[in-house]
Amino acid sequence: MGQAPLKEVPKLKEWPHFSGEGEYDHMEFIRGIGMIKEYFELPERLVTARLNTLFTRSAHRWYIKLRQAHGHQIWTWWKTQIINKWTNDAWRFKGETAFEYAKFNADKDKALPCFCQKKTD
């Protein structure tokens, strides 16, 4: 299967955007870009050319500084930079806390009946 025609690629307003402010999820941004890149088989240059528009507010200022300092880079490089910049202790704690609350607790949660039945064969 070859690259999708450019007219099939979603318009920029349909792509995920990232501000780096407030309640953000940079990993969701990365996954969203990755899915579009993979689904439409987009070349690196097409993805990285859109970053100037996909980053907003403080993330856009950060992008401009990095772009000026390092020039054109591939999407994999940008993913690493995003992770390095926005994965901090507070973000990790938020994810760990969500995981802790999502786990099954036998004292608080009721198991589905199908998990409580003994297998007979």
Half-sphere exposure of 2 (CA within 13 A, CB side): 2
pLDDT grade for 114, boundaries at 50, 70 and 90: low
- pLDDT tens-digit map of 59-103: 999 999 999 999 999 999 999 999 999 886 454 545 444 555 555
Candidates 75, 81, 60, 48; CA nearest to 18 is 60
pLDDT of residue 91: 46
Locate the domains of the chain by residue range: 11-116
Torsions phi, psi of 3, nearest 5?
-65, 140
